[in-house]
């Protein structure tokens, strides 16, 4: 059996809870999980289960073998800027209570999904896992990034004191069909797709992009991320965080030009430098995931972007 191959027999007779399973990544992961035929896949949904409350986590996790913890309050740079307190409060409560409840209900394994936003603002590129503790995150993302980062500390503490098996995965920005295109909370790719599609539809001659366009980002297609999480769940058993990415870096300006070309927008592109760039550069060192569980992102960026644009247009 190849290292990067998901083993169906691992999932036999397993009861799996996917928190956040109704979200963007969650829907893809749940779909792929069902293909592996576990005994049961459970998605605890709000408001029946408010994972900020410990008692609701206990109820959601009873009789479960594996928790894949995706649930989070999350959004793009504008949302981070206007909701820092909510992002900190919600994410720290969700994560702390989820891991506490998993341990208390006898779960075999807890898979925590963190964020690239936990890395320091100025981190040597590509970001290595050992650099995670070397500084303060980019200010706009800090409340969210630090709240999520505490799950790693909690995971290490629980492993040390209780021998509890939990792991921590740090994915880069996701994109793909089913993404959040709400302009109030979307990340950069769906935000730009929507802007260019609307500009073309309304015959506008200009699209304005936040920031200078010089900042860079790495993106991973949602189906690749889903596979990486399932592989880690099977094969990785350490509380030390592990990066999940594609190894591909692109500037926001290049990204905007590529999306405009795919959409067919013929107008002008300008940048609003009064708006924040966020972290200057972002690309992960993904060698550890390749080494530990054979993960490699397969989707070419342009191909994934075309699929994402096509999906968005199909929803209009």
Residue 102 marked in a binding site = no
Residue 26 marked in a binding site = yes
The whole-angstrom distance between residue 287's C-alpha and the CA centroid of its chain comes to 18
* CA–CA dist 316, 311 (Å, integer): 9
Strand partners, 124: none
Q: Euclidean distance between the first and final Cα of the chain, in Å? A: 43
Alpha helix stretches (DSSP H) within 105-221: 142-162, 188-201
Residue 31 marked in a binding site = no
Residue 76 marked in a binding site = no
Residue 5 marked in a binding site = no
Whole-Å CA distances, 26 to 32, 135, 210, 227: 10, 30, 28, 12
Are 12 and 40 in contact, with CB atoms under 8 Å apart? no
Query: Among this protein's residues, is 144 annotated catalytic?
Result: yes
Residue 93 marked in a binding site = no
Buried b (16+ CB within 10 A) or exposed e, 227-258: bbbbbbbbbbeebbbbbbbbbebbebbebbbb
Nearest partner of 137 among 153, 156, 167, 116, judged by Cα: 116
Residue 24 marked in a binding site = yes
Active-site annotation holder among 144, 175, 236, 312: 144
Buried b (16+ CB within 10 A) or exposed e, 88-114: bebbbbbbbbbbebbbebebebbbbbb
Residue 83 marked in a binding site = no
Residue 278 marked in a binding site = no
- Local structure of 236: helix, strand or coil: coil
Residue 225 marked in a binding site = no
Nearest partner of 252 among 312, 308, 299, 209, judged by Cα: 209
- The most distant pair of C-alpha atoms in the chain lies apart, rounded to whole Å, by 62
Residue 165 marked in a binding site = no
Residue 174 marked in a binding site = yes
Strand partners, 270: 208
Q: Which two tokens stand for residue 137?
A: 């995150």
Residue 53 marked in a binding site = no
As annotated, the binding site for NADP(+) includes 20-26, 148, 171-174, 187
Active site residue ranges? 144
As annotated, the binding site for substrate includes 195, 210, 217, 277
As annotated, the binding site includes 20-26, 148, 171-174, 187, 195, 210, 217, 277
């Amino acid at each position: 059996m190849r290292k990067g191959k998901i083993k169906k027999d691992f999932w036999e007779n397993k009861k799996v809870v996917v928190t956040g399973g109704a979200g963007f990544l969650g829907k893809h992961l749940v779909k792929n999980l069902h293909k592996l035929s576990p005994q049961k896949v459970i998605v605890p949904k709000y408001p029946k289960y408010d994972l900020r409350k410990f008692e609701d986590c206990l109820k959601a996790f009873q009789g479960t073998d594996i928790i894949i913890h995706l649930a989070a309050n999350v959004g793009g740079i504008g949302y981070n800027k206007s909701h820092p307190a909510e992002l900190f409060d919600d994410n720290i409560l969700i994560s702390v209570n989820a891991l506490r409840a998993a341990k208390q209900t006898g779960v075999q394994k807890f898979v925590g999904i963190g964020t690239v936003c936990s890395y320091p603002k100025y981190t040597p590129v590509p970001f290595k896992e050992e650099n995670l503790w070397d500084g303060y995150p980019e200010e706009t993302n800090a409340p969210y990034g630090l709240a999520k980062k505490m799950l790693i500390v909690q995971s290490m503490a629980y492993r040390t004191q209780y021998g509890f098996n939990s792991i921590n995965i740090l994915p880069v920005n996701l994109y793909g069909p089913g993404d959040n295109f709400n302009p109030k909370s979307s990340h950069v790719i769906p935000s730009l797709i929507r802007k260019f599609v609307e500009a073309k539809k309304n015959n506008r001659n200009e699209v304005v992009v936040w920031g200078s366009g010089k900042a860079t980002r790495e993106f991973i297609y949602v189906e690749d991320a889903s596979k990486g999480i399932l592989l880690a769940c099977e094969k990785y058993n350490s509380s030390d965080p592990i990066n999940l990415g594609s190894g591909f870096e692109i500037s926001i300006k290049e990204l905007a030009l590529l999306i405009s070309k795919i959409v067919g927008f013929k107008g002008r592109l300008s940048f609003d430098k009064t708006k924040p760039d966020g972290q200057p550069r972002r690309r992960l060192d993904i060698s550890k995931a390749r080494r530990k569980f054979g993960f490699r992102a397969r989707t070419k960026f342009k191909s994934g972007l075309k699929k994402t644009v096509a999906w968005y247009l199909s929803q209009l």
